[in-house]
Amino acid sequence: MLGQSPHGPDLKIDCASCHNPGGWDIDLGTLTFDHSSTNFDLEGAHQLLDCASCHSDLRFDNTPTDCFSCHTDVHAQSVGNDCMRCHTTENWLVFGVPELHEQNGFPLIGAHSNLSCVECHSMETSLVFNRLGNECIECHRTDYVATQNPNHVMAGFSTDCFICHDPLGFGWEGANIVHDFFPLTQGHDIQDCNACHDNGTFSNTPTDCFACHMQDYQQTSNPNHQAANFPTDCASCHTTNPGWMPASFDHDSKFFPIYSGEHEGVWNSCTDCHMVANNFAVFDCLNCHPAGEMADEHDDVNGYIYQSNACLQCHPQGEE
């Protein structure tokens, strides 16, 4: 009488592939069954297991082949159920953490490369890794709110930390603020933000010269800018060179050519022509052009008058 196979009708292999005439116990040394024929190769740690470790009953045709069905998910579904994304069949150690983070769009670079998993993934257990999100502020809101120099909240700074901070850095120092809207060059190359933003507010700081340099304008005495009624647009005469020098006033196109033509290089200071202190509306041609010399030059000019305003009227460009 033939015995019925306890393994079910779908396991169609020769009994001798696993068993021997001495009994039903399986001798791994004489086992000839090729497990790869089941589409599940016995690799790594699976090679060391006996059949009953995976096949809890004698029916072998209904055993699942996915990791999740046999192995308890200690990560509580926080990383999905594809164990092979992180693990191999050799053991449960994970060696590709940086690569895994890159796949999720958050590379572990800079200060993040030195952190342990639980410093970011502080969940109910050290094996649960719920997704945190890739935006800086999702982890660093406390840093943002607590920062006082400068006060980020009061200043209305963006919560996109990348705008100012280097993701390759290992601290918050050395913030690279893109200040292109007001270039910090030459005299404006100031490292202390509070030198200009003294009220802790960064969003409405004026960019016109006079708003910051009114005191410089009012205290300048050589020449006296207020008395001379100079414009408060500092850029019309000055550059951002430290110390306000050199100053360049467009005297030629606005008033009278002194940087070109006959008068180029023949004067030393403003007071050579403007002899009334702090009143640049008054000018004197006669200081350099004596009466006798000018009389000889104009002996053929009817109605010649030896006055500065008359000189300008006849010689508006300083020509002879």
For residue 176, give both structure tokens. Answer: 């690279």
The size of the chain, in residues, is 320
User: Per residue in 202-260, pLDDT tens?
Assistant: 777 888 889 889 999 999 887 788 877 888 888 888 888 888 887 777 888 888 999 88
Q: Is the dihedral of CA 44, 49, 52, 53 positive or negative?
A: negative
| 169 alpha carbon, distance to own chain's centre | 11
User: Per residue in 168-185, pLDDT tens?
Assistant: 888 887 677 778 888 888
DSSP 214: H
Output 273 or 269, whichever has higher pLDDT: 273
C-beta neighbour count of 138 within 10 angstroms: 10
Residue 303's region, left for phi above 0, alpha for psi from -120 to 50, else beta, is left
User: Per residue in 78-111, pLDDT tens?
Assistant: 888 888 888 999 999 888 888 888 888 888 888 8
> Using CA atoms, how far apart are residues 193 and 186, in angstroms rounded to an integer?
15
Helix (H, G, I), strand (E, B) or coil at 8: coil
User: Per residue in 292-310, pLDDT tens?
Assistant: 888 888 888 888 888 889 8
Q: Kindly report whether the global pTM for this prediction surpasses the value 0.75.
A: no
pLDDT for the residue 174? 64
- Checking if the pLDDT of 191 tops 60, the result is yes
Per-state percent for the chain, helix, strand, coil, to nearest 5: 30, 0, 65
Q: How confident is the model at residue 1 (pLDDT cuts 50, 70, 90)?
A: very low
C-beta neighbour count of 152 within 10 angstroms: 19
What is the share, in percent, of the chain residues with pLDDT greater than 70?
98
